[in-house]
Amino acid sequence: MNILITGCAGFIGYSLSVKLLKKKNVNIIGFDNLNKFYSVNLKKKRLSILKKNKNFKYFKIDLTNKKQLSKLFNEKKIDVVFHFAAQAGVRYVSSHPEKFIQSNILGFHNLIDTSKNYNIKKFFYASSSSVYGDLNNFPVGENSKLRPKNIYGLSKKLNEEYLEINSNKKTKYIGLRFFTVYGEWGRPDMLILKYLTFAKKNKTLFLNNSGNHWRDFTYINDVTNILCRLINKNFNKNEIYNVCSNRPILIKNLISYLNEKTGYNKIKNVSGNNLEVFKTHGKNSKIRRKVNFSKYSNFNKSVDSTIKWFKKYNHLI
C-alpha cells in the first residue's frame, strides 16, 4: 500500500509515518515544505529518522505549488492520503493571517483538485477542535454547531464544507477534528513543550487566563493508534470524527503538575487571549465505535514520557 503523508516532518505526520513504517507492505511518500513556523532543526531530525527506512521517500513540496503536486501524483501510485500539512498556531493568526489563507485554503484546494485525477481510495485530512469555537454544551459531538473564533478554525471549517460540494465520488474523505495533541516529538509552541523550554532557560512564562481554562489533551500514541485502525475501515460516505480523549484538563492543574516535576515556578498570570476558546471537550464515541478503541493513555504518565523525551532532545527546539 502506498500512503501519501503531507506534513511528514510535522508532529502528527512524522509520528504516524514512524508507526506505519513498522508494518509490512507499506510505503510512505512524504512531503513537507519545512517552513520556519517552529524549529526547522526539529523537523529535519524527524526527517532524518524517517529516511533511515527504505520504504520512506521524501519530497520538499509546498501546497501552493500545484505543478509540483501534479508531478508527484503522476509519478507515484498513491492509494491513501493523510493530509496534515497546514499552517497551525492560533496565536499566529493575528500577525500572519495570509499564511492560513494560502496554506489551509488555497493549498487544501490544490491538493484536493490534483488528487481527484487519480484513484485515491481514502483521503484523511486534519481538521481541528477549533471549528467548534466557544460552545456551552459539552462534550461537543460531530453534529454540534460550528462557531470558529479565529482564522485558523475558520480555515478548517471551510475545508470540511469545501468537500461537501467539491469532492471526487470515487474517494471517501474523512475529516479528523484533532483536540490538543501532545507528546514526544511534539510542537514547541504548544503548552507542555513551551513550559519545559521556559523552565530550562529559566525564563518567565506568561500564563493566559491564569490557567483557568480547559483543554481536551490527546496523547500522540493514542492518535496514531486510532489513525492506523482507520486505514483498514470501510466508509460508505464522507465522514467527520472527533479525535480526542473526552477528558478535559484544567490548565492550572497541569501547570501545578509540571511545577512539581520540574521545580520551575517563574510563571506570571495574565488575562486571556480573545483568539482562544475557554474550553475544549470532545465527545469521542463515534471514533471509538468505528475503530474499537477504548483504552486511552494515562495523562500523567504520558506527560512524564514527554518530559523524558524533552530532556534528551531539547537542543533541537
Cα 81 to Cα 222: distance, rounded to the nearest angstrom:
20
In this structure, are residues 20 and 94 in contact, taking their beta carbons and an 8 Å threshold?
A: no
Cα–Cα dist 154/136, whole Å: 19
Q: SS3 sequence, 223-264?
A: HHHHHHHHHCCCCCCCEEEEECCCCCEEHHHHHHHHHHHHCC
Q: Report CA-CA distances (Å) from 197 to 40, 184, 262, 271, 277.
A: 16, 14, 11, 22, 24
Q: What cell does 213 get? A: 481554562
The residues, ordered by sequence, that sit 6+ positions from 168 with a Cβ below 8 Å of its Cβ are 115, 116, 120
Residues 6+ apart with CB under 8 A from 207: 251, 255, 267, 268, 269, 270
Rounded Cα–Cα distance for residues 101 and 89 (Å): 13
- Residue 152 falls in the annotated catalytic set: yes
CA distance 83 to 7: 7
DSSP 46: H
To 5 degrees, how large is the angle CA 89–CA 240–CA 7?
Answer: 40
Q: Which of 48, 44, 23 is nearest to 34 (CA)?
A: 44
The catalytically annotated residue of 125, 132, 152, 219 is 152
Catalytic residues: 152
